[in-house]
Structure formats: structure tokens, C-alpha cells
């Protein structure tokens, strides 16, 4: 068994209990608890919301709105073990509200982010446009990854977190975090390559 799957099993066994403790602290007004909720769930929520909005800035705004709504109504969470599902329901409603207001469709706006993505998936001598990579294609590719790697990809490519912070947030060691990022990047490159091949075949 490799180190990634070993850590995943340990996390799955302890997640329910640690989540209940975290929610209890949050309900009791512990400000550090809310900070831990933000750290732990903003990445997965961003991945979830991006699948609906396909626009990074809008999705980031929705995640912030989601967390604020959750903080204001945490006492309505009847089952602490269902925190993830509860947050996703709030996020979905916030995303629908945002979509109605903006009417925006598609794609990237952040040049520095697109430069980083272009370097990662197109090579250092090509920018994102030349590589045929857009934020929308990255988002769609990330959504196809297994959850273990999807969260690492969101933190690394979309939030541009260092591997040490990703490791701390996911509750794994630095080597496991780097391995997840590496595997996620490889799967994304393979997926994006297949997408471009399919597009060229259809032309």
C-alpha cells in the first residue's frame, strides 16, 4: 500500500469524529474553529462551484458567500457528520443566485493564473492560448479527477498554494502532497491532450 492510500484510509476512519468535534467548537463560538472550516473546505467547495459556474472569480466569490452563510446559520446543521453535504447545498444555492445575477458564461480572466497554467500544461515556451488551454478546460479536466487528486489540483493550480500548505490542510505529509500534485498534473495533462485530440478529430 502506498503512502497516499494509507493516509486516505486513516483520514476516512477519523473524519467523522473530527468533523463532529470541529462543528461542536464552531457552534460554541470558537473563532479558530471557523478558520479551520475555511481552510479545510474552501478547496473542495471551489472545485464544486467551478463545475457550475466555470468562472474562477465568480466561483471564489460564491465560496466566500457560502462560508459566510454557513457561519451565520451553523446552529441549523442538525447532523455534524453531514457538514460536507450541508456546505455543498449552501454553495449550490449561492451559485444559482450568482449565475442569475451575472449571466456570465465561461472562462479565464486572470493573466497570471493563465500564465502559470500555460507553463504547467503547455510548456514554458508557450503561453496558455498557444497551448490551447483555457481555465474552462482546466476546470472541466479537474472535475474528472478522483476526489483525492481533485482537491490537490484545486489547491495547487487554482489557488496556487505551496505544497506545505496543501499537506497541512489535507492532513498528510509533504511527500504525499507532492505525490498527489504530481499525479494530478499527469492526469490533467493526459486528459487535456485527449480533449485537444478529439477537438482536432472533429474538425
Domain segments of the chain as ranges: 1-105, 107-203
Query: Which pLDDT band holds residue 47 (cuts at 50, 70, 90)?
Result: confident
DSSP H or E run through 146: none
77 φ/ψ angles, rounded to the nearest 5 degrees = -75, 105
Q: Minimum mean pLDDT among 22-31, 46-55, 146-155: which range? A: 46-55
Contacts of residue 66, Cβ cutoff 8 Å, sequence gap at least 6: 45, 49, 87, 90, 91, 94
> For residue 14, what pLDDT is reported?
43
Query: Which pLDDT band holds residue 2 (cuts at 50, 70, 90)?
Result: very low
Using CA atoms, how far apart are residues 188 and 182, in angstroms rounded to an integer?
10
> For residue 91, what pLDDT is reported?
93
> For residue 108, what pLDDT is reported?
44
Q: Do 154 and 43 touch, CB atoms closer than 8 A?
A: yes
> For residue 74, what pLDDT is reported?
94
Q: Minimum mean pLDDT among 81-90, 111-120, 174-183: which range? A: 111-120
Task: Enter the CATH code of domain 107-203.
Answer: 1.10.10.10
Mean pLDDT over 46-60 rounds to: 79
Mean pLDDT over 23-45 rounds to: 90
Query: Which pLDDT band holds residue 120 (cuts at 50, 70, 90)?
Result: low
Domain at 1-105: CATH architecture? Orthogonal Bundle (1.10)
Mean pLDDT over 48-67 rounds to: 84
> What is the model's pTM?
0.57
Q: In the chain, where does DSSP find H-type helix?
A: 3-27, 31-53, 56-72, 83-102, 111-122, 128-131, 135-143, 147-153, 163-170, 174-202
Asked whether this chain's domains 1-105 and 107-203 adopt the same fold, the reply is no
How many beta carbons lie within 10 A of that of residue 12, not counting itself? Answer: 9
Mean pLDDT over 36-65 rounds to: 84
Mean pLDDT over 30-37 rounds to: 92
> For residue 104, what pLDDT is reported?
57
Amino acid at each position: 500500500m502506498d503512502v497516499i492510500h494509507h493516509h486516505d484510509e486513516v483520514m476516512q476512519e477519523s473524519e467523522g469524529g473530527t468533523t463532529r468535534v470541529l462543528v461542536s467548537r464552531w457552534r460554541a463560538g470558537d473563532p479558530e474553529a471557523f478558520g479551520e472550516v475555511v481552510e479545510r473546505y474552501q478547496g473542495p467547495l471551489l472545485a464544486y462551484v467551478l463545475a457550475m459556474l466555470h468562472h474562477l472569480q465568480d466561483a471564489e466569490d460564491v465560496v466566500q458567500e457560502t462560508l459566510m452563510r454557513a457561519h451565520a446559520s451553523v446552529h441549523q446543521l442538525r447532523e455534524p457528520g453531514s457538514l460536507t453535504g450541508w456546505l455543498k447545498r449552501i454553495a449550490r444555492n449561492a451559485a444559482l443566485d450568482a449565475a442569475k445575477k451575472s449571466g456570465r458564461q465561461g472562462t479565464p480572466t486572470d493573466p497570471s493564473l493563465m500564465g502559470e497554467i500555460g507553463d504547467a500544461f503547455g510548456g514554458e515556451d508557450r503561453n496558455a492560448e498557444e497551448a490551447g488551454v483555457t481555465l474552462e478546460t482546466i476546470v472541466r479536466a479537474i472535475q474528472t479527477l478522483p476526489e483525492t487528486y481533485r482537491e490537490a489540483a484545486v489547491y495547487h493550480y487554482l489557488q496556487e498554494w505551496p505544497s506545505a500548505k496543501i499537506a497541512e490542510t489535507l492532513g498528510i505529509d509533504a511527500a504525499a502532497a507532492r505525490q498527489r500534485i504530481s499525479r494530478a498534473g499527469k492526469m490533467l495533462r493526459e486528459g487535456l491532450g485527449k480533449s485537444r485530440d478529439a477537438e482536432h478529430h472533429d474538425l
